[in-house]
């Protein structure tokens, strides 16, 4: 894929990421304002982080469309790549925070509302962004993570040393992935035990009758967990694993594959997050549906009124054209 083609792909991806997350963020804000559910602030933070991912990669669009003759200063390139890495890290960390919030709400439902107060939610989100800034701007703090020579176009591995990705994988991504999988497996275990208790109670109440066949609750929970874990792991794991392979064996995998395919696959996670986390929640779906109905009521009557006005004007015009000659006769 050439520079122009890759720039077009990045432009389309950036637009879809920003549009989808903004579309989800608006009903989330309205829902938090109406219901006061602070747990949705984590999902809102995920939409904001993913929107920033789409916004920051727009700078690479102009870089790719400008062609190989365009030269970006080294310090500006480092700052641009750090600004891209920061919201990406915030998105990954927010996914873990959303999983922990759901785990706390299911495991300790009575203590959840006492724990998740405004200060706790603000501290969690603020600490998350501080950690994301530390991860994203770590090459500016540790100079050894920067490449000494910069003679190539502004790319991620053109200014950052592969050991930076190895450090991020060992310190941040792998522990985050382990915690993410562990929490959802534990949630799956809780959902299976609840489904088993519900089936036992239904068998007691429906003794002597033939119960209707319905999809199992634990099957739905397993499918949901598989989609959540699969979207997260399959999006970012190839990029981090490829970065480790590239750090250990320079000739085994090329930077072109990492930066043009595996990295874009990781960015697609920011496009899938609003669909997986926000749209699957019933309250968010209802809020989006109400917004669509409100827009339909405001927009479509204008078209109907305009069409009626045009039809009336045409009728009046036809009446005048027919009646004037008759009046002159």
pLDDT digits (tens, 9 = 90+) for 99-147: 888 888 888 878 888 888 889 999 999 999 999 999 999 988 888 888 8
Residue 309 in any domain: the answer is no
> Quick one: pLDDT at residue 130?
95
Segment 322-328 mean pLDDT = 38
Task: Give per-residue pLDDT as tens, 191-210.
Answer: 777 667 666 676 666 554 44
> Which pLDDT band holds residue 321 (cuts at 50, 70, 90)?
very low
The residue segments making up the domain with residue 24 are 3-201+218-293
What 3-state DSSP class applies to 146? strand
> Which pLDDT band holds residue 188 (cuts at 50, 70, 90)?
confident
Residue 306 in any domain: the answer is no
State the helix-helix crossing angle for 282-328 and 40-56, rounded to 10 degrees. 70
Instruction: Please state the domain count of the chain.
Output: 1
Residue 155 in any domain: the answer is yes
Task: Give per-residue pLDDT as tens, 24-47.
Answer: 888 888 888 887 777 788 889 999
Residue 36 in any domain: the answer is yes
> Quick one: pLDDT at residue 128?
93
Residue 125: CATH number of its domain: 1.20.1070.10
Residue 255 in any domain: the answer is yes
Residue 324 in any domain: the answer is no
Segment 311-327 mean pLDDT = 41
Please tell me which residue, 91 or 324, carries the higher pLDDT value.
91
Residue 33 in any domain: the answer is yes
Q: What is the pTM of this model?
A: 0.79
Residue 310 in any domain: the answer is no
184-188 long-range Cβ contacts below 8 angstroms, 24+ apart = 184/99, 184/225, 184/228, 184/229, 185/225, 186/103, 186/107, 187/99, 187/102, 187/103, 187/106, 187/221, 187/225, 188/218, 188/221, 188/222, 188/225
């Amino acid at each position: 894929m050439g520079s122009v083609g890759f720039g077009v792909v990045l432009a389309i991806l950036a637009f879809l990421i920003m549009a989808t997350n903004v579309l989800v963020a608006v009903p989330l804000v309205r829902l938090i304002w109406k219901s006061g559910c602070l747990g949705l602030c984590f999902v809102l933070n995920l939409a904001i982080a993913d929107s920033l991912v789409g916004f920051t990669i727009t700078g690479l669009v102009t870089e790719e469309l400008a062609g190989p003759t365009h030269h970006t200063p080294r310090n500006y390139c480092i700052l641009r790549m750090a600004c891209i890495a920061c919201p990406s890290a915030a998105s990954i960390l927010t996914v873990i925070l959303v999983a922990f919030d759901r785990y706390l709400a299911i495991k300790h439902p009575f203590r959840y509302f006492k724990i998740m107060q405004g200060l706790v939610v603000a501290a969690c989100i603020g600490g998350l962004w501080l950690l994301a800034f530390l991860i994203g701007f770590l090459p500016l703090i540790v100079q050894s993570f920067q490449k000494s020579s910069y003679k190539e176009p502004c790319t991620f591995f053109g200014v950052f040393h592969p050991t930076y990705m190895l450090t991020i994988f060992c310190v941040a991504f792998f522990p985050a992935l382990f915690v993410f999988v562990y929490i959802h497996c534990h949630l799956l275990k809780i959902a299976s035990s609840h489904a088993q208790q519900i089936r036992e109670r239904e068998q007691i109440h429906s003794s002597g009758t033939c119960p209707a066949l319905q999809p199992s609750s634990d099957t739905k929970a397993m499918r949901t967990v598989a989609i959540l874990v699969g979207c997260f792991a399959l999006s970012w794991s190839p990029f981090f694993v490829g970065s480790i392979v590239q750090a250990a064996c320079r000739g085994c995998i090329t930077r072109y594959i990492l930066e043009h395919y595996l990295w874009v696959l990781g960015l697609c996670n920011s496009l899938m997050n609003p669909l997986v986390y926000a749209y699957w929640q019933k309250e968010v779906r209802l809020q989006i549906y109400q917004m669509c109905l409100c827009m339909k009521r405001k927009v479509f009557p204008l078209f109907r009124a305009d069409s009626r006005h045009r039809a009336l004007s045409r009728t009046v015009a036809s009446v005048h054209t027919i009646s004037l000659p008759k009046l002159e006769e």
